[in-house]
Amino acid sequence: MSTPLPHEAYAAALAGLPRMTPLRLSVLLRHLAPDEAFAVASGRDSAVAGSMVSKLLGDAELRGMWAAGSRSGSPEAVWQRCEQLGIAVSFAGQAHHPVAATTDPLPASVLFSRGDRGLLEGRRVAVVGTRNATMAGRSMARELGRGLAYSGVNVVSGLARGIDAQAHRGVFVLCDESPAAARGGAIGVVASGLDRVYPRENRDLWERVATEGLLLSESPPGAEPFAYRFPLRNRLVAGLSEIVVVVESRERGGSLITATLAAERDIPVMAVPGIASNRAALGTNGLLRDGMPPVLDVADVLLALSLDHTRCTPAVYEHRAPPRPSDLATYRACREQPQTIGDIAQHHDVNLLMAAMSLARLEQTGWIAQVDGWYEAVGSPMR
Amino acid sequence: MIAAIASATLLGATGHPVTVEVHVGNGLPGFQIVGLPDEACREARDRVRAAVLSSELVWPNRRITVNLAPSSMRKGGSGLDLAIAVGVLVASDALGTRCVEGLSFIGELGLDGSLRSVPGVAPMVACLSDHEAVVAPSSWNVAAAVASKPVHIADSLAQLVTALRDGMWPDVRVPILVADDPFQPDLADVRGQPEARAALEIAAAGGHHLLFVGPPGSGKTMLAQRMIGLLPPLDRATALEATMVHSAAGGRLPPSGIISIPPFRAPHHSSSMVSLVGGGSHNLRPGEISLAHGGVLFLDELGEFASSVLDSLRQPLEEGVIRVARATWHATMPARFLFIAATNPCPCGGGPPGACECDSTATQRYLRRLSRPLLDRFDLRVGVKRTSADDLMRPGGGEPSAVVRERVTLARERSMRRNGVLNAAIEPALLDACAPLTDAAHNMLRVELEASRLTGRGYHRVRRVARTIADLATDDVAVVDESHVALALQFRVPLGIDTRREAA
């Protein structure tokens, strides 16, 4: 071997061992340096008798699997892969390893990252929510992402479909509008390896977060997005944030898991209220009933962060032409809840032709948008 | 002695004249049928012999040869029984040749000599237009409806022989003429659903194919069934074609013998391709699309049909006929129908935004079963949602079918007068002449095209639908304006992978 491998290589290889859990990893790395820990885990060295590590290795089956795993996933191979992909590794004990990750009840002892690790030093707010979001929810997530980035707060999210993706897209909307105004960045925390893009439809966002923001994962390159990794990812989203904002959530779901995990860690949880009949708001409304503070706009989040909220959103120039007076009733109905053309025609007692014209005018001017025949108000509401 | 008796056989939905030649001669007693009979046809030997004997007639114990001419064409079914029996009787001098001149015989014989009807009487009688047909009593109404000469009936072979000898035909017991118009489901039963009602009306007026997209229980089937009540009665030519097809398929025909109400066919999604387009290994049967000729073909749960079955519909949807070819024969059958289909937007049924349970891969897999070319055939794609409790329980129904039908008929007349065809069939090149646009309407379509929410094909479809919407207006509208285009655009619910991704 020409140059000795860095400690990070051994840490990365440890994280990739079969049946490695955050708890086992933290036991190994709490007492041993990564190279020592790897030697013990692979069975080449023996652990100090009576230590936690030797208790861990008392399990013969686990010992066998780790020994086999350390041969197939050698530190050299893992490190080479990380360097190829431009993935940085940090482990517990290093100065730049996030404190929040080490002090967590379930610590993240090894982290893989792409992008700017400095973002973890700044203010961080998680914006999470359901994958099956309404247009209103998506729009809200985008607004929050944009507003937080403007106020210099980094947006943490899971890069999932729906709310998660929209929160980050909001950050980049601001970046595209005025790069100087975007003082906050995007921190994506994902469940799979950093080379395994999931979901595929967010490829562009994934790449953009990795290059312009920070992409974090506990899993080594090549790790598949297995279901068990997602709750672990959620604890990291919660743990790395100062506040968790849930935009839309059903009665059960990943974002409520994130909220629970945050509450367990004494991290404030806030929720965006929705209409009671909206299924995508059942979870968030439940959080509000349980006493979590509501988020009506980005100022609420900034207040909770004790930040100046008076100039929290970039001035929005309303480029949309105001709706005709005759279309106002249609617009208001769409703002309340999603409407079909039949609803509009029936409730406002107009014929379908008039309803179609009204919807077409509003859609063309950008006040409403259509998904599968349903119309919802989008963008900032008319003042 | 030799006898030649006129009869017919059925191929697809058309009859072909067959001359049954019977020779009774010397030799070892025997009975042989040649001329490409199929199994059912060859079994006529045993039925005919038993029927002759049980009618207390003399069976010639000589060598009997039956030739079915033209002998190169396959003959199927039992409809030639009667002609063979009459031929044997004539050839053995039990009947005079004179008695059967100008007559044709179509029917199956029972062992007791009784006469039974067979499927396909209408096309078979129609192809023997210069003969007076003799059929079983239950086939009389159908045969009489399509025949140009008198049609005679007989209960049994014995009765027939008596009639032929005396020249006195038994009276036709004309069935009591009940109106052909049985109970038709009425649009008044439908509560709410303004856009679906409008879509039905537009589809009926312009002949546009229609796809309902909506969750289970939203009344898609109920709506589709009400299409029949909106369509005008079939014209004479289509009625005849439809009657031929239904007769060939052995379906029940109305008492008048001719189908004048547009048929409604709703095959189950487990249907095979052959059952839908027609065919079969030894006797060619018309499929559901031919049975729907002139009427409505309704496919519920479109995504559950095998994709090969659905793609086989594309040619008939374009051409209005189906050509079924096998190694030894081929047939062309009419298949011009209004296509109505229903599907869920995703496996769980969907609903308002945020209500869907499915992840996007499941939805994509579900929608991938509907091929893009097939979805493109639908001029109207309409979202249907569950009727709200308020609408369901509100007293009084919606507009009854009769009122809507008047508007539909008027719109159809307008379009026929202007285009010579229904609006759905306007050639793209003639669109500017038949469906001119106002400037505002033009701009609206341009915006849609530039935002690539509309394809070139979709553009033509929207213009045709807009034309129909304009035709449905109270007064005659010459130029299609933006409200018509806006409504036509409403009736194109984006369904399918591409549009969904854009919407996210």
Q: If pLDDT is split at 50, 70 and 90, which confidence band does B500 have?
A: very low
- What pLDDT is stored for residue B498 in this prediction? 40
Kindly report the pTM of this predicted structure: 0.76
Omega before residue B70 within 30° of 0, cis: yes
Q: How close B450 comes to chain A (CA, Å)?
A: 12
What is the reported pLDDT for A197? 92
Mean pLDDT of B62-71: 93
Q: Are B468 and B208 in contact (CB under 8 A)?
A: yes
pLDDT bucket at B131, cuts 50 / 70 / 90: very high
| Chain A residues touching B490 at Cβ < 8 A | 341, 352, 356, 359-360
DSSP assignments along A218-276, one per residue: SSPTT----TTHHHHHHHHHHHT-SEEEE----SSSHHHHHHHHHHHTT--EEE----T
Residue numbers in B near A248 (CB within 8 A): 354
Helix, strand, coil % over all residues of chain B, rounded to 5: 40, 20, 40
Q: Is the per-residue pLDDT at B503 higher than 60?
A: no
The Cα of B444 is separated from the nearest Cα of chain A by a number of Å equal to 9
Residue A164 sits at the chain B interface (C-beta within 8 Å)? no
Residues of chain B found within 8 Å of residue A376, distances taken between Cβ atoms: 353
Please, are residues A111 and A217 in contact by the beta-carbon 8 Å criterion?
yes
Lowest mean pLDDT among A194-198, B27-31, B61-65, B168-172: B168-172
B383 interface with A at CB cutoff 8 Å: yes
| Cβ–Cβ below 8 Å for B354 and A278 | yes
The residue among A134, A341, A343, A370 with the most chain B CBs within 10 A of its CB, best to mutate, is A341
Instruction: Compute the distance between CA of residue B360 and CA of residue B291 in angstroms, rounded to an integer.
Output: 38
Predicted confidence (pLDDT) at residue B354 exceeds the cutoff of 80: no
Kindly state whether B386 is in contact with chain A, defined as any CB-CB distance less than 8 angstroms.
Answer: no
Alpha-carbon distance of A35 to B388, in angstroms, equals 66
CA-nearest of B152, B56, B16, B47 to B66 is B47
Q: How many CB atoms lie within 10 A of CB B359?
A: 14
Instruction: Out of B71-75, B177-181, B222-226, give the one with best mean pLDDT.
Output: B222-226
On whether the CB atoms of residues A143 and A380 are closer than 8 A, the answer is yes
**Cα(B303)–Cα(B269) distance, rounded to whole angstroms?**
9
- Is it the case that residue B501 has pLDDT exceeding 60? no
In chain B, residues with a C-beta closer than 8 Å to the C-beta of A133 are 354
Confidence class for position B290, pLDDT limits 50, 70, 90: very high
Q: With an 8 Å Cβ cutoff, are B489 and A354 in contact?
A: no
Cβ atoms of B131 and B102 within 8 Å: the answer is yes
Residues of B in contact with A132 (CB under 8 A): 354-357
**pLDDT, tens only, B434-482:** 899 999 999 999 988 887 778 888 899 999 999 999 999 888 888 999 9
In the prediction, which pLDDT does B502 show? 35
Beta strand residue intervals within chain A, DSSP E: 88-91, 110-115, 123-128, 153-157, 186-190, 214-217, 243-246, 269-271, 368-371, 374-377
**B357 vs A260: CA distance, rounded Å:** 22
What does each C-alpha distance from B15 to A71, B6, B118 come to in angstroms? 79, 13, 13
User: Which has more confidence, B89 or B345?
Assistant: B89
A133 near B CB under 8 A: yes
Handedness of CA A284, A290, A293, A294 (dihedral sign): positive
Lowest mean pLDDT among A294-298, A326-330, B66-70, B212-216: B212-216
pLDDT at B188: 85
Measured distance CA(A354)–CA(A345) in Å, rounded:
8
Give me the pLDDT at residue A381, please.
74
B196 and A359 within 8 Å at the Cβ level: the answer is: no
The whole-angstrom distance between A211's CA and the closest CA on chain B is 23
Asked if B192 and A201 come within 8 Å (Cβ–Cβ), the reply is no
Residue A68 distance to chain B (closest CA, Å):
35
Whether residue B182 lies within 8 A of chain A, CB to CB, comes out as no
3-state secondary structure of B279: strand
* Interchain proximity B353–A338, CB inside 8 Å: yes
To test the contact with chain B by mutation, choose from A202, A372, A375 the residue with the greatest count of B C-beta atoms within 10 A, namely: A372
Q: What are phi and psi of A370, to 5 degrees?
A: -115, 135
For B493, the closest of A280, A359, A372 (CB atoms) is: A372
Q: What span, in angstroms and rounded, lies between the C-alpha atoms of A195 and A157?
A: 18
State the average pLDDT over residues B160-164. Answer: 93
pLDDT at position A239, please?
Answer: 93
Q: Tell me if chain A has a CB within 8 Å of the CB of B344.
A: no
Tell me what pLDDT residue B189 has: 84
Instruction: Decide: A245 and A294 in contact? Cβ < 8 Å.
Output: no
Location of structure tokens 């989008």:
A378
- Inform me whether the C-beta atom of residue A278 falls under 8 Å from chain B C-beta atoms: yes
**Main-chain phi, psi angles of B479, to 5 degrees:** -110, 135
- In one letter, which amino acid is A323? P
- Both structure tokens of B182: 């049985």
Q: Is the ipTM of this complex over 0.85?
A: no
Per-residue pLDDT of chain A in tens (383 residues, 90 and over written 9):
457 889 999 999 999 898 899 999 998 888 888 988 898 888 888 877 778 888 888 888 888 889 888 888 889 999 999 999 999 999 998 888 998 888 889 999 999 999 999 999 999 999 999 988 888 898 899 999 999 999 999 999 999 988 999 999 999 988 888 888 888 999 999 999 999 998 888 899 999 999 999 999 999 999 999 999 999 999 999 999 999 999 999 988 889 999 999 999 999 999 999 988 888 899 999 999 999 999 998 999 999 998 877 766 666 677 788 899 989 999 989 888 888 888 888 888 888 889 999 998 898 888 888 877 788 888 777 76
Pairing of strands B210-213, B338-343: parallel
